[in-house]
Amino acid sequence: MKKYKIGLFGFGCVGQGFFETLNSNTEISAEVVKIAVRQKNQVRKADAKLFVYDIDSVLNDDDIDLFVELIDDPDLALSIVKTALSKGKPVVTANKKMLAENLEELIELQNKYKTPIRYEGAVCGSIPILKNIDTYYNSEKIESIKGIFNGSTNYILSKIFNENISYESALKSAQENGFAESDPTLDVEGHDPKYKLSILASHIFGQVIHPSQIINWGINKLQKHDFDFAKENDLKIKLVAKVEEADNELSLLVAPHFVSKYNPLYHIEDENNIVTIEGAYSGQQILSGKGAGSLPTGLAVLSDVREILKGQGYNYKKSLVLKPIKNDLVEAYVSFSLKHSFVTELFQSITERYVGKDYSYVIGQIKISQLQTIIKLKSVNAIITSGNKIENITSKISYSYA
């Protein structure tokens, strides 16, 4: 049986995880023959003869059958993927930013060169959501996908709720434990889950949804009074990514949400991820598990290698009618300092209001475009309260006003 030759780019967290899962697998007839890395003089957990420091020497090796791209530089990753496709060599990658920002072009290139790319590891680590969307759910009419797509922020929020510590201490703990980067901006501002949502939504609805079409904000500005409000009302705050279809229109959002214990998202702790799928025929289905990490993501990459060796790319179903993207009214809790009291006037209807000495809040219906503007103001925070009947918390709240 032919033993396929793999050229690997990157030997960091995921690269090593992939290498280890491949080497302990007895069914996939493939081996890594070259690994491109950046830094010389590093101790590597693999045969030193495999390592090269020149990307082109891997890309131009005609003996290599397929490439696995696992570096942490989206621009370089894009250039590797494009070159590989132009040579008719399939690629597996996990770079969500590169994929989300260039998906349209990458689909065209796959068609042009009749060569596939796969990227399960880019969306929620080990959770096999893309493969399932592409095959099993291809026949389903998906009405919504909601989930927790970012392990670092979920770890931070879990720490805050379970250990009663501040946002700053929780972020520090996430960094010390390797769950958050030293520059955590992409995670805590909600960009990372936006890239994943963009890829997922594009596969579900058959129309490419660029990340710039998705409104997002993160958890980095939340204040103690926002967390206190959640705790007093038996709620948790989760950074939720969601796409919903209604009346042939799509709405997409990444934002902090209040969730009650009746919502499966409430129970997802630490670095774990969850994807809930609402289908017209199947009802609600749930996938949850490790959304990042060396071996879990390495396994997702290995699963893609297996599909590629079977000649299996993604289906990329096409939307018959392009659905407009709409984000209009949402129900939100908005807290603000007194100098931003004008916020109250932006609400179309108000169900609850609190005016305090240090901060105030309003719960009610507001246009998402207005939320997007005011959330940029210092000391204004917004948490979505709607999205699921049980999350319509305002009718349940009995809160004593100061």
What residues act catalytically?
Answer: 196
Q: Which residues contact 121 (CB under 8 A, 6 or more apart)?
A: 14, 92, 93, 94, 297, 298, 300, 301, 304
Q: With beta carbons less than 8 A apart as the criterion, state whether 312 and 131 touch.
A: no
Q: Coil, strand, or helix at residue 264?
A: helix
Residue 57 beta carbon to ligand NAP: minimum distance, rounded to whole angstroms? 11
| CB-nearer residue toward ligand NAP: 121 or 256 | 121
Residue 84 beta carbon to ligand NAP: minimum distance, rounded to whole angstroms? 15
Region from 60-68, 88-96, 105-113, 234-242 binding ligand NAP, contact rule CB under 6 A: 88-96
Residue 76 in the binding site for ligand NAP (CB under 6 A): yes
- Paired tokens of 392: 């319509």
SS3 content of the chain, % helix, strand, coil (to 5): 40, 25, 35
Stretch 271-300: interaction string toward ligand NAP, x if CB under 6 A: ---------------------xx---x---
| CB-nearer residue toward ligand NAP: 195 or 361 | 195
Residue 69 beta carbon to ligand NAP: minimum distance, rounded to whole angstroms? 8
Member of 32, 59, 70, 243 binding ligand NAP (CB under 6 A): 70
Q: At residue 72, what is the residue type?
A: D
Region 106-145 residues binding ligand NAP, contact defined as CB under 6 A: 121-122, 125
Q: With beta carbons less than 8 A apart as the criterion, state whether 70 and 8 touch.
A: yes
| Total number of residues that touch ligand NAP (CB under 6 A) | 26
Residue nearest to ligand NAP (CB): 12
Residue 303 beta carbon to ligand NAP: minimum distance, rounded to whole angstroms? 13
Region 9-48 residues binding ligand NAP, contact defined as CB under 6 A: 10-15, 36-39, 42
Member of 20, 61, 65, 72 binding ligand NAP (CB under 6 A): 72
Query: Three-state SS string across 186-251, please?
Result: HHHCCHHHHHHHHHHHHHHHCCCCCHHHCEECCCCCCCHHHHHHHHHCCCEEEEEEEEEEECCEEE
Residue 100 beta carbon to ligand NAP: minimum distance, rounded to whole angstroms? 11
Residue 278 beta carbon to ligand NAP: minimum distance, rounded to whole angstroms? 25
**Residues forming a β-bridge with 146:** 242, 276
| CB-nearer residue toward ligand NAP: 122 or 334 | 122
Q: Which residues contact 3 (CB under 8 A, 6 or more apart)?
A: 29, 30, 31
- Paired tokens of 63: 């003996």
Q: How does DSSP classify residue 344?
A: G
For the chain, the maximum distance between any two Cα atoms, rounded to a whole number of angstroms, is 75
Q: Which residues contribute to the site for ligand NAP (CB under 6 A)?
A: 10-15, 36-39, 42, 55, 70-73, 76, 94-96, 121-122, 125, 292-293, 297
